[in-house]
Amino acid sequence: MPELDLSRSSVELTRMICDIPSVSGDETTLADAVTAAVGGLSHLDVHRNGDTIVARTDRGRAQRVVIAGHIDTVPINRNLPTRLVDIDGVPSLWGRGTVDMKAGVAVQLKLAAELTDPRVDVTWMWYDHEEVAAELNGLTRLARARPDLFTGDFAILGEPSNGQVEGGCNGNLRAIVRTHGVRAHSARAWVGENAIHAAAPALLRLAEYRPRTIAVEGLEYREGLNAVRVAGGIAGNVIPDLCEIEVNYRFAPNRSLDEAEAHVRDVFAGFEVEVVDRAAGARPGLDAPLAREFLAAVGAEPRPKYGWTDVARFSALGVPAVNYGPGDPSLAHHDEEAVPLAQIEDVERGLRAWLTR
Protein backbone atom coordinates (compact mmCIF):
# COMPACT_ATOMS: atom_id res chain seq x y z
CA MET A 1 0.00 0.00 0.00
CA PRO A 2 1.35 3.47 -0.85
CA GLU A 3 2.17 5.50 2.24
CA LEU A 4 0.93 9.07 2.70
CA ASP A 5 3.27 11.23 4.76
CA LEU A 6 1.00 14.04 5.96
CA SER A 7 3.99 16.16 7.07
CA ARG A 8 4.82 16.79 3.39
CA SER A 9 3.64 20.04 1.75
CA SER A 10 0.08 20.20 0.47
CA VAL A 11 1.44 20.45 -3.10
CA GLU A 12 3.50 17.27 -2.63
CA LEU A 13 0.52 15.56 -1.02
CA THR A 14 -1.72 16.56 -3.93
CA ARG A 15 0.74 14.94 -6.27
CA MET A 16 0.97 11.77 -4.17
CA ILE A 17 -2.77 11.22 -3.95
CA CYS A 18 -3.36 12.05 -7.63
CA ASP A 19 -0.80 9.41 -8.54
CA ILE A 20 -2.87 6.81 -6.66
CA PRO A 21 -5.66 6.36 -9.26
CA SER A 22 -9.15 6.31 -7.71
CA VAL A 23 -11.75 6.38 -10.45
CA SER A 24 -15.26 5.97 -8.96
CA GLY A 25 -15.68 2.36 -7.84
CA ASP A 26 -11.94 1.89 -7.48
CA GLU A 27 -11.16 4.04 -4.43
CA THR A 28 -10.07 1.32 -2.00
CA THR A 29 -6.30 1.72 -2.42
CA LEU A 30 -6.49 5.45 -1.75
CA ALA A 31 -9.06 5.00 1.04
CA ASP A 32 -6.74 2.46 2.71
CA ALA A 33 -3.83 4.88 2.46
CA VAL A 34 -5.91 7.71 3.96
CA THR A 35 -7.16 5.44 6.77
CA ALA A 36 -3.59 4.39 7.58
CA ALA A 37 -2.37 8.01 7.54
CA VAL A 38 -5.02 9.41 9.90
CA GLY A 39 -5.65 6.21 11.87
CA GLY A 40 -2.54 6.68 13.99
CA LEU A 41 -3.32 10.28 15.03
CA SER A 42 -4.43 10.37 18.66
CA HIS A 43 -6.44 13.62 18.34
CA LEU A 44 -8.76 12.06 15.72
CA ASP A 45 -11.54 9.55 16.17
CA VAL A 46 -11.61 7.61 12.86
CA HIS A 47 -14.58 5.76 11.32
CA ARG A 48 -14.60 3.86 8.05
CA ASN A 49 -17.72 3.08 6.02
CA GLY A 50 -16.95 1.39 2.70
CA ASP A 51 -14.37 3.72 1.14
CA THR A 52 -15.55 6.73 3.12
CA ILE A 53 -13.41 7.87 6.03
CA VAL A 54 -14.57 10.16 8.83
CA ALA A 55 -12.05 11.64 11.29
CA ARG A 56 -13.33 13.77 14.16
CA THR A 57 -11.74 15.95 16.78
CA ASP A 58 -13.54 15.90 20.10
CA ARG A 59 -12.24 18.87 22.09
CA GLY A 60 -15.64 19.70 23.55
CA ARG A 61 -15.90 22.97 21.59
CA ALA A 62 -19.22 24.78 21.42
CA GLN A 63 -19.31 24.47 17.64
CA ARG A 64 -18.53 21.81 15.07
CA VAL A 65 -17.67 22.18 11.40
CA VAL A 66 -17.81 19.44 8.76
CA ILE A 67 -15.05 19.68 6.14
CA ALA A 68 -15.49 17.20 3.31
CA GLY A 69 -14.06 16.12 -0.02
CA HIS A 70 -14.63 13.24 -2.42
CA ILE A 71 -11.66 11.02 -3.21
CA ASP A 72 -12.90 9.60 -6.53
CA THR A 73 -12.28 11.02 -9.99
CA VAL A 74 -13.79 10.68 -13.44
CA PRO A 75 -11.99 8.15 -15.71
CA ILE A 76 -8.32 8.67 -16.56
CA ASN A 77 -7.54 9.58 -20.15
CA ARG A 78 -3.76 9.44 -20.50
CA ASN A 79 -3.50 12.17 -17.86
CA LEU A 80 -1.66 10.30 -15.11
CA PRO A 81 0.92 10.34 -13.62
CA THR A 82 0.83 14.03 -12.74
CA ARG A 83 3.39 16.51 -14.06
CA LEU A 84 4.58 19.87 -12.83
CA VAL A 85 3.94 22.30 -15.68
CA ASP A 86 4.12 25.98 -16.43
CA ILE A 87 0.86 27.42 -17.81
CA ASP A 88 1.39 30.96 -19.12
CA GLY A 89 3.97 31.54 -16.40
CA VAL A 90 1.88 29.97 -13.63
CA PRO A 91 3.51 26.94 -11.96
CA SER A 92 0.82 24.26 -11.89
CA LEU A 93 0.23 20.58 -11.29
CA TRP A 94 -1.33 18.80 -14.29
CA GLY A 95 -3.25 15.52 -14.32
CA ARG A 96 -6.49 13.73 -13.49
CA GLY A 97 -7.86 14.76 -10.11
CA THR A 98 -5.63 17.80 -9.61
CA VAL A 99 -8.67 20.11 -9.91
CA ASP A 100 -11.58 17.80 -9.06
CA MET A 101 -10.74 17.50 -6.26
CA LYS A 102 -7.60 15.98 -4.84
CA ALA A 103 -5.83 19.29 -4.22
CA GLY A 104 -8.70 20.16 -1.88
CA VAL A 105 -8.47 16.73 -0.24
CA ALA A 106 -4.69 17.07 0.18
CA VAL A 107 -5.09 20.38 2.02
CA GLN A 108 -7.74 18.81 4.26
CA LEU A 109 -5.56 15.77 5.04
CA LYS A 110 -2.59 17.95 5.93
CA LEU A 111 -4.63 20.19 8.23
CA ALA A 112 -6.43 17.22 9.79
CA ALA A 113 -3.04 15.87 10.86
CA GLU A 114 -1.57 19.20 11.89
CA LEU A 115 -4.40 20.99 13.72
CA THR A 116 -4.53 18.97 16.92
CA ASP A 117 -6.33 21.73 18.84
CA PRO A 118 -8.61 23.62 16.42
CA ARG A 119 -10.86 26.52 17.53
CA VAL A 120 -14.00 24.55 16.59
CA ASP A 121 -14.40 20.79 16.58
CA VAL A 122 -13.91 19.42 13.08
CA THR A 123 -15.47 16.42 11.36
CA TRP A 124 -13.28 15.59 8.37
CA MET A 125 -15.00 13.47 5.69
CA TRP A 126 -13.36 11.90 2.66
CA TYR A 127 -15.85 9.99 0.58
CA ASP A 128 -16.23 7.74 -2.46
CA HIS A 129 -18.50 7.66 -5.52
CA GLU A 130 -19.26 11.37 -5.92
CA GLU A 131 -18.79 11.39 -9.70
CA VAL A 132 -21.52 8.79 -10.33
CA ALA A 133 -25.21 8.30 -9.47
CA ALA A 134 -26.29 9.93 -6.20
CA GLU A 135 -27.51 6.54 -4.97
CA LEU A 136 -23.88 5.28 -4.90
CA ASN A 137 -22.49 8.43 -3.25
CA GLY A 138 -20.55 7.66 -0.06
CA LEU A 139 -22.40 10.47 1.73
CA THR A 140 -25.78 8.93 0.84
CA ARG A 141 -24.64 5.65 2.39
CA LEU A 142 -23.09 7.32 5.43
CA ALA A 143 -26.16 9.49 6.06
CA ARG A 144 -28.23 6.30 6.27
CA ALA A 145 -25.79 4.39 8.45
CA ARG A 146 -24.54 7.21 10.70
CA PRO A 147 -26.69 10.34 10.44
CA ASP A 148 -25.16 11.50 13.74
CA LEU A 149 -21.82 12.09 11.98
CA PHE A 150 -23.41 14.90 9.92
CA THR A 151 -24.07 17.03 12.99
CA GLY A 152 -22.49 20.44 12.53
CA ASP A 153 -23.01 24.20 12.56
CA PHE A 154 -21.39 24.78 9.18
CA ALA A 155 -19.90 22.67 6.38
CA ILE A 156 -17.19 23.27 3.80
CA LEU A 157 -16.75 21.18 0.67
CA GLY A 158 -13.33 21.41 -0.93
CA GLU A 159 -14.70 21.34 -4.49
CA PRO A 160 -12.76 23.56 -6.91
CA SER A 161 -13.83 27.20 -6.61
CA ASN A 162 -10.62 29.01 -7.65
CA GLY A 163 -9.89 29.57 -3.97
CA GLN A 164 -13.05 31.68 -3.68
CA VAL A 165 -16.05 30.87 -1.54
CA GLU A 166 -19.07 29.66 -3.48
CA GLY A 167 -22.28 29.59 -1.51
CA GLY A 168 -25.43 27.62 -2.15
CA CYS A 169 -26.40 26.20 -5.52
CA ASN A 170 -29.25 26.28 -8.00
CA GLY A 171 -31.94 23.61 -7.89
CA ASN A 172 -32.47 21.26 -10.82
CA LEU A 173 -35.69 19.91 -12.34
CA ARG A 174 -36.34 17.84 -15.46
CA ALA A 175 -39.74 17.43 -17.07
CA ILE A 176 -41.23 15.92 -20.22
CA VAL A 177 -43.66 18.11 -22.18
CA ARG A 178 -45.76 15.72 -24.27
CA THR A 179 -48.04 16.32 -27.25
CA HIS A 180 -50.34 13.75 -28.80
CA GLY A 181 -51.80 13.36 -32.29
CA VAL A 182 -53.33 10.75 -34.54
CA ARG A 183 -51.13 8.40 -36.52
CA ALA A 184 -51.80 8.21 -40.28
CA HIS A 185 -50.10 7.54 -43.61
CA SER A 186 -48.34 10.73 -44.71
CA ALA A 187 -49.92 10.30 -48.16
CA ARG A 188 -53.28 10.98 -46.48
CA ALA A 189 -52.06 13.35 -43.78
CA TRP A 190 -55.52 14.97 -43.49
CA VAL A 191 -56.87 11.94 -41.63
CA GLY A 192 -54.09 12.24 -39.02
CA GLU A 193 -52.96 14.85 -36.53
CA ASN A 194 -49.26 15.70 -36.28
CA ALA A 195 -47.93 15.57 -32.72
CA ILE A 196 -44.60 17.18 -33.72
CA HIS A 197 -46.40 20.19 -35.17
CA ALA A 198 -48.45 20.35 -31.97
CA ALA A 199 -45.18 20.75 -30.03
CA ALA A 200 -44.24 23.93 -31.91
CA PRO A 201 -46.03 26.34 -29.52
CA ALA A 202 -44.21 24.73 -26.57
CA LEU A 203 -40.85 25.25 -28.29
CA LEU A 204 -41.83 28.83 -29.05
CA ARG A 205 -42.52 29.45 -25.35
CA LEU A 206 -39.01 28.16 -24.58
CA ALA A 207 -37.42 30.27 -27.30
CA GLU A 208 -39.15 33.38 -25.96
CA TYR A 209 -38.60 32.56 -22.29
CA ARG A 210 -36.48 35.13 -20.45
CA PRO A 211 -34.69 33.43 -17.54
CA ARG A 212 -34.51 35.42 -14.34
CA THR A 213 -31.57 36.41 -12.18
CA ILE A 214 -32.55 36.31 -8.53
CA ALA A 215 -30.66 37.69 -5.54
CA VAL A 216 -30.62 35.32 -2.57
CA GLU A 217 -28.81 36.56 0.55
CA GLY A 218 -26.95 39.04 -1.63
CA LEU A 219 -25.73 36.56 -4.28
CA GLU A 220 -27.12 36.64 -7.82
CA TYR A 221 -28.36 33.31 -9.15
CA ARG A 222 -29.00 32.99 -12.90
CA GLU A 223 -31.80 30.66 -13.81
CA GLY A 224 -32.28 28.67 -17.03
CA LEU A 225 -35.15 26.86 -18.71
CA ASN A 226 -34.10 24.85 -21.72
CA ALA A 227 -35.14 22.02 -24.01
CA VAL A 228 -32.40 19.41 -23.74
CA ARG A 229 -33.87 16.66 -25.93
CA VAL A 230 -36.71 16.17 -28.40
CA ALA A 231 -38.14 12.79 -29.36
CA GLY A 232 -40.87 11.94 -31.86
CA GLY A 233 -41.52 10.32 -35.20
CA ILE A 234 -42.14 6.77 -36.42
CA ALA A 235 -41.09 6.43 -40.04
CA GLY A 236 -40.52 8.49 -43.15
CA ASN A 237 -44.10 8.03 -44.30
CA VAL A 238 -46.05 8.21 -41.02
CA ILE A 239 -47.68 11.20 -39.35
CA PRO A 240 -46.40 10.97 -35.77
CA ASP A 241 -48.85 10.62 -32.90
CA LEU A 242 -46.42 11.51 -30.09
CA CYS A 243 -43.74 14.14 -29.43
CA GLU A 244 -41.77 14.59 -26.22
CA ILE A 245 -39.66 17.60 -25.29
CA GLU A 246 -37.37 17.09 -22.32
CA VAL A 247 -36.97 20.34 -20.43
CA ASN A 248 -34.35 21.20 -17.80
CA TYR A 249 -35.04 23.97 -15.31
CA ARG A 250 -32.20 25.33 -13.15
CA PHE A 251 -33.75 27.48 -10.49
CA ALA A 252 -32.58 29.88 -7.79
CA PRO A 253 -32.35 28.41 -4.29
CA ASN A 254 -35.10 30.62 -2.86
CA ARG A 255 -37.64 28.52 -4.76
CA SER A 256 -38.92 25.31 -3.22
CA LEU A 257 -39.27 22.18 -5.34
CA ASP A 258 -43.03 22.68 -5.46
CA GLU A 259 -42.66 26.31 -6.53
CA ALA A 260 -40.19 25.31 -9.23
CA GLU A 261 -42.57 22.63 -10.48
CA ALA A 262 -45.50 25.07 -10.45
CA HIS A 263 -43.46 27.53 -12.53
CA VAL A 264 -42.69 24.90 -15.18
CA ARG A 265 -46.35 23.85 -15.30
CA ASP A 266 -47.29 27.50 -15.63
CA VAL A 267 -44.93 28.08 -18.58
CA PHE A 268 -46.42 25.04 -20.33
CA ALA A 269 -50.02 25.67 -19.37
CA GLY A 270 -52.30 23.70 -21.69
CA PHE A 271 -49.66 21.01 -22.29
CA GLU A 272 -49.21 17.64 -20.65
CA VAL A 273 -46.21 17.97 -18.30
CA GLU A 274 -44.55 15.11 -16.42
CA VAL A 275 -41.83 15.95 -13.88
CA VAL A 276 -39.24 13.15 -13.99
CA ASP A 277 -36.51 14.38 -11.63
CA ARG A 278 -36.08 17.21 -9.17
CA ALA A 279 -33.42 18.24 -6.66
CA ALA A 280 -33.65 21.23 -4.34
CA GLY A 281 -31.07 23.98 -4.46
CA ALA A 282 -29.26 25.28 -1.40
CA ARG A 283 -29.41 28.75 0.09
CA PRO A 284 -25.95 30.27 0.48
CA GLY A 285 -26.18 30.18 4.27
CA LEU A 286 -23.70 33.04 4.47
CA ASP A 287 -25.64 34.84 7.17
CA ALA A 288 -24.72 32.14 9.71
CA PRO A 289 -22.22 33.61 12.22
CA LEU A 290 -19.65 30.86 11.58
CA ALA A 291 -19.94 31.45 7.84
CA ARG A 292 -19.29 35.16 8.32
CA GLU A 293 -16.22 34.47 10.45
CA PHE A 294 -15.02 32.02 7.83
CA LEU A 295 -15.35 34.59 5.01
CA ALA A 296 -13.46 37.17 7.04
CA ALA A 297 -10.67 34.73 7.97
CA VAL A 298 -10.03 33.47 4.43
CA GLY A 299 -10.51 36.93 2.94
CA ALA A 300 -12.70 35.69 0.09
CA GLU A 301 -15.63 37.27 -1.74
CA PRO A 302 -18.60 34.91 -1.82
CA ARG A 303 -20.02 33.94 -5.24
CA PRO A 304 -23.01 31.89 -6.29
CA LYS A 305 -22.51 28.28 -7.39
CA TYR A 306 -24.45 27.27 -10.48
CA GLY A 307 -23.96 23.52 -10.63
CA TRP A 308 -25.51 21.14 -8.13
CA THR A 309 -23.00 19.87 -5.54
CA ASP A 310 -23.09 18.07 -2.22
CA VAL A 311 -23.50 21.45 -0.45
CA ALA A 312 -27.22 20.93 -1.16
CA ARG A 313 -27.09 17.66 0.76
CA PHE A 314 -25.80 19.45 3.88
CA SER A 315 -28.24 22.28 3.37
CA ALA A 316 -31.10 19.74 3.29
CA LEU A 317 -29.84 18.45 6.66
CA GLY A 318 -30.01 22.00 8.01
CA VAL A 319 -26.23 22.58 7.92
CA PRO A 320 -25.26 25.72 5.95
CA ALA A 321 -22.52 24.74 3.48
CA VAL A 322 -20.14 26.34 1.00
CA ASN A 323 -17.59 25.23 -1.59
CA TYR A 324 -14.01 26.36 -0.97
CA GLY A 325 -11.17 24.70 -2.81
CA PRO A 326 -8.24 25.16 -5.18
CA GLY A 327 -8.67 24.77 -8.94
CA ASP A 328 -10.76 26.25 -11.72
CA PRO A 329 -14.18 24.54 -11.75
CA SER A 330 -14.42 24.93 -15.52
CA LEU A 331 -11.42 22.54 -15.79
CA ALA A 332 -13.11 19.82 -13.71
CA HIS A 333 -13.43 16.59 -15.75
CA HIS A 334 -11.33 18.20 -18.50
CA ASP A 335 -8.48 16.02 -19.79
CA GLU A 336 -6.11 18.97 -19.31
CA GLU A 337 -7.08 19.68 -15.71
CA ALA A 338 -4.30 21.51 -13.86
CA VAL A 339 -4.21 23.44 -10.61
CA PRO A 340 -1.99 26.46 -9.87
CA LEU A 341 0.35 25.55 -6.98
CA ALA A 342 -0.25 28.96 -5.38
CA GLN A 343 -3.99 28.24 -5.12
CA ILE A 344 -3.33 25.03 -3.18
CA GLU A 345 -1.14 27.01 -0.76
CA ASP A 346 -3.70 29.84 -0.50
CA VAL A 347 -6.53 27.50 0.45
CA GLU A 348 -4.30 25.78 3.01
CA ARG A 349 -3.42 29.19 4.49
CA GLY A 350 -7.08 30.27 4.52
CA LEU A 351 -8.38 27.16 6.25
CA ARG A 352 -5.50 27.13 8.72
CA ALA A 353 -6.06 30.81 9.61
CA TRP A 354 -9.72 30.13 10.31
CA LEU A 355 -9.27 26.89 12.25
CA THR A 356 -6.31 27.93 14.41
CA ARG A 357 -7.06 29.22 17.86
223 forms part of the interface with Zn ion (CB under 5 A): no
Q: Which of 54, 274, 276 is nearest to 177 (CA)?
A: 274
Distance CA(33)–CA(111), nearest Å, equals 16
**Pairing relationship of beta strands 302-304 and 321-324 according to DSSP bridges:** unpaired
SS3 content of the chain, % helix, strand, coil (to 5): 35, 30, 40
Q: How far is the CB of 180 from Zn ion (least distance, A)?
A: 41
CB 163 within 8 A of CB 347: yes
Distance CA(185)–CA(201), nearest Å, equals 24
103 forms part of the interface with Zn ion (CB under 5 A): no
Query: Which residue among 4, 17, 101, 267 contacts Zn ion (CB under 5 A)?
Result: 101
166 forms part of the interface with Zn ion (CB under 5 A): no
273 forms part of the interface with Zn ion (CB under 5 A): no
Q: How far is the CB of 333 from Zn ion (least distance, A)?
A: 8
Under DSSP, the state recorded for 327 is S
Closest CB to Zn ion among 18 and 101? 101
Stretch that binds Zn ion, among 84-92, 99-107, 220-228, 285-293 (CB under 5 A): 99-107
337 forms part of the interface with Zn ion (CB under 5 A): no
Q: How far is CA 249 from CA 212, 234, 279, 313, in A?
A: 12, 28, 11, 19
100 forms part of the interface with Zn ion (CB under 5 A): yes
311 forms part of the interface with Zn ion (CB under 5 A): no
For the annotated catalytic residues, the residue numbers are: 72, 130
When CB distances to Zn ion are compared, the closest residue is 100
Binding residues among 146-165 for Zn ion as defined by CB under 5 A: 159
Closest CB to Zn ion among 157 and 195? 157
Amino acid identity, position 252: A
Q: How far is the CB of 297 from Zn ion (least distance, A)?
A: 24
Stretch that binds Zn ion, among 18-26, 100-108, 187-195, 224-232 (CB under 5 A): 100-108
Distance CA(123)–CA(139), nearest Å, equals 13
Return residues touching Zn ion (CB under 5 A): 100-101, 159
